[in-house]
Structure 1
Amino acid sequence: MDMHIVLLDLGHELRGGQRQVFYLAQRLADSPEFSCVVAAPRNAPLLHMAADAGLPVLPLGGRRAWDPRTLYTLMRHLRGRTCILHTNDAHSAGLGAWLHSRSGGATRLLHTRRVSYPLRQGWRGRKYLLADAVVGVSAEIAQVMRDSGMPAEKVHVIHSGIDASLYTPRTTRQDGRLVIGMVGALTRQKGHDVFVRALGELYRGAAGTLPPWEARIIGSGPLFEPLLELARQEGVESRMACLGWQDSRVMMPGFDILAVPSVDGEGSSAVIKEGWAVGLPVIASDLASNLELVRHEDNGLAFANGDHGALARGIARLASDAGLCARLVQGGRQSLEEFTDVRMAGAYMRLYRSLLV
């Protein structure tokens, strides 16, 4: 009899976490040992993407985690089964903890946590501690869970993975332009303000002489207007394009350099791995989770978190040193072998087996 996995994600967007659920569901569907279903809101992009790929889906009604229709659908699906409910975002973690407490032990509960913030007080933190196991997508996140009271034997590290075959190599242009790219939701923790201030340093020539350059920001979110205002203050509004949400697989081959200036909360950055897959030199802030991926001057450059001057100098260095870029790109390709969707799914399957023995 196969082992049944319910992959629950209540997000209404398609970001890195939702892509990880999709990759995992694909690999589980290929295994005769497991059955799985992707449970997500009826109109969520993840649900449609899974259905289009022929994966089993469980549409959930309503837009709120605690909508009675969502509860009813999940309770009906779980009833009478011995299975694993695997939650993949903060809202589904709370709902999963509640369902787990009413299953009489038949439903095992696994949370994946993708951000490195300390757990909050009250229910927002306790819902993670109620799980049979918690996966941190970086060692930093796993340590946060242990520091918050989760027994060490219940905490696991499984880095996110990507399917590198879906990415096309960087486009080689002959026009002499330098394109500096950034990908991420327009939210504070992604460090867009650090990036724009670094562009200001480049514009003023403080980091050295560059060829003609432009910057492209991929992502949507609440900081759109403040970023445009900051770009005007820095004098770079004519050199910077905010392109909204776009498929990174389409846009990143047009970059020459990838900047990842996250200031806090980062997990296992999919953007860094995507940059490696495309063949871009990557420069990232030295957050602990980023440094689990980036080895300075081997597969990327690291700069002091929040230091826009250091980011500008790093970009200028990449722009002027083709040998360094080639070395970092080669190191990134080699590192990517450690962070594939296949390796990620294999680690989850081993954890599932241990929870269902």
Structure 2
Amino acid sequence: MTTDTAMHIILLDLGREMRGGQLQVFYLARALHRSDEFSVVVACPAGAPLAREAAAAGIAVLPLPGRRSWSPRALLALRREARGHAAVVLHTHDARAASLGALCKGTWGGSVPLVHTRRVSYPLGRALSRRKYLAADAVAAVSAETGGVLAAAGLDPARITVIHSGIDPSRYYPRRERGDGRFVFGMVGALTPQKGHAVLIEALSVLQAREAGDAAGEATGGAWNGAPLPPWEVRVVGEGPLFGILLDRADELGVSPRLAFLGRQDSRRILPDCDALLVPSVHGEGSSGVIKEAWVTGLPVICSGLASNLELVRDGENGLVAPPGDATALADAMRRVATDLALRARLVRGGAVSVAHYTDTRMAEAYMALYRRLR
């Protein structure tokens, strides 16, 4: 229960889907709602999944009016919300919300501290994009790489705080033993260029070709000179504009029978039936949520060596790392994991230790500490 002296946090997110960023907003709102030190309201488009999720948990919701969600009516609604409390922080969580937050800051003056969270490591583009971040009193970057991008764009490093995204371990299910003799790789991510699906399909071609070489060269030790691969397949969760292009490429390389596109699914339901997670992203990662989901599920992780991924994964300890865009290295890592039970066990143990540092509770505590500094 909060008091009249509690600092009031307005969490502003203009997304109309329940993706990873919105889940982070919900986790933070839930922690603030349970706190005696803070009060919270989730400001988001009327009818958005985040609004429903927050309301179901008893968290106050400010439905923003208008189709565009940052109309003059939305600006007025936020101003009324801020005026009702003695100490307020406006905290934005997506790019459009950051624009609206900067507009609020310019309209309200310095009376309400403004915090932005930046979840991706893409360079800031236009001057307008930079200005909205420069307007903030503090910017939370979800990785050190993202923080470096912000600093390179001209933000004062003293205003940048690295706060990795967190997960709620209680929401996830442990890996299940299927008992079918197959090895199932999973990948979770929108079918967009930065996620590296094209690299994965090339890697499947390499893996399949070398498997055929093993079979043809058994007398001389095989192409890899290692344990034979079990029957294997890859399940891809996600939807996006590259679906048809990826299907065509898989057909062209002859790996379609190994590959199942499952569309948009709840990763919590899919990962327990996988044996390893693939994260072959080629750019733009922030603080990968699916790596943490794999750790808590009990899966070994194979990821690309992007800077943000390397903040989470230590090669050979809690995952395997392949250079970004290197299909052959990715295929080699897949084979190692599929054929080496001791390696899988070591990576799973390392992941179980690592995920304790990236929980929703730790993430919320870090944000609360940031709010206190803005008093």
TM-score (norm 2): 0.92
CA contact (8 A) 1:65 1:91 kept: no
User: Paired residue for 2:71?
Assistant: 67
Matched, 1:267 2:306: no
Matched, 1:234 2:256: no
Structure 1 unaligned runs (5+)?
A: none
Of residues 23, 31, 35, the one that matches 1:31 is 35
* Offset at residue 279 of structure 1 (A): 0.4
Q: Give SS of 1:205's match.
A: helix
Map 1:215-226 → 2, pairs under 5 A? 215-226=234-245
Output the CA distance in 2 between the equivalents of 1:175 and 1:135: 45
Matched, 1:101 2:106: yes
Structure 2 unaligned runs (5+)?
A: 212-222
Query: Identity of aligned pairs, percent?
Result: 57
| Deviates most, 8-17 or 323-332 | 8-17
* Offset at residue 150 of structure 1 (A): 0.9
Output the CA distance in 2 between the equivalents of 1:173 and 1:80: 55
User: What amino acid does structure 2 have at the position aligned with 1:53?
Assistant: A
* Offset at residue 229 of structure 1 (A): 1.1
Question: Larger Cα Rg: Structure 1 or Structure 2?
Answer: 2
* Offset at residue 126 of structure 1 (A): 1.1
User: What amino acid does structure 1 have at the position aligned with 2:125?
Assistant: R
Please provide the CA RMSD for this pair: 1.3
CA contact (8 A) 2:8 2:39 kept: yes
CA contact (8 A) 2:45 2:69 kept: no
Cα deviation code 1:200-244 (max 9, x no counterpart): 222223685421111111111111111111111121222211111
* Offset at residue 104 of structure 1 (A): 2.5
CA contact (8 A) 1:7 1:88 kept: yes
User: Paired residue for 1:198?
Assistant: 203
| Deviates most, 171-180 or 229-238 | 229-238
Output the CA distance in 2 between the equivalents of 1:189 and 1:54: 37
| Deviates most, 321-330 or 47-56 | 47-56
CA contact (8 A) 1:65 1:95 kept: no
CA contact (8 A) 1:65 1:92 kept: no
Of residues 364, 367, 374, the one that matches 1:345 is 364
Output the CA distance in 2 between the equivalents of 1:158 and 1:344: 6
Map 1:4-43 → 2, pairs under 5 A? 4-43=8-47
| Deviates most, 208-217 or 153-162 | 208-217
Of residues 165, 182, 185, the one that matches 1:180 is 185
* Offset at residue 66 of structure 1 (A): 3.0
Output the CA distance in 2 between the equivalents of 1:67 and 1:226: 37
Output the CA distance in 2 between the equivalents of 1:83 and 1:160: 23
Structure 1 pair 202–139 and aligned structure 2 pair: CA distance change class (3 A): same
TM-score (norm 1): 0.97
Of residues 137, 141, 157, the one that matches 2:142 is 137
Output the CA distance in 2 between the equivalents of 1:158 and 1:65: 27
User: Paired residue for 2:169?
Assistant: 164
- How many matched pairs? 356
Output the CA distance in 2 between the equivalents of 1:322 and 1:56: 48
| Deviates most, 336-345 or 45-54 | 45-54
* Offset at residue 22 of structure 1 (A): 0.7
CA contact (8 A) 2:143 2:287 kept: yes
User: What amino acid does structure 2 have at the position aligned with 1:188?
Assistant: P
* Offset at residue 65 of structure 1 (A): 4.3
CA contact (8 A) 1:252 1:275 kept: yes
CA contact (8 A) 1:168 1:278 kept: yes
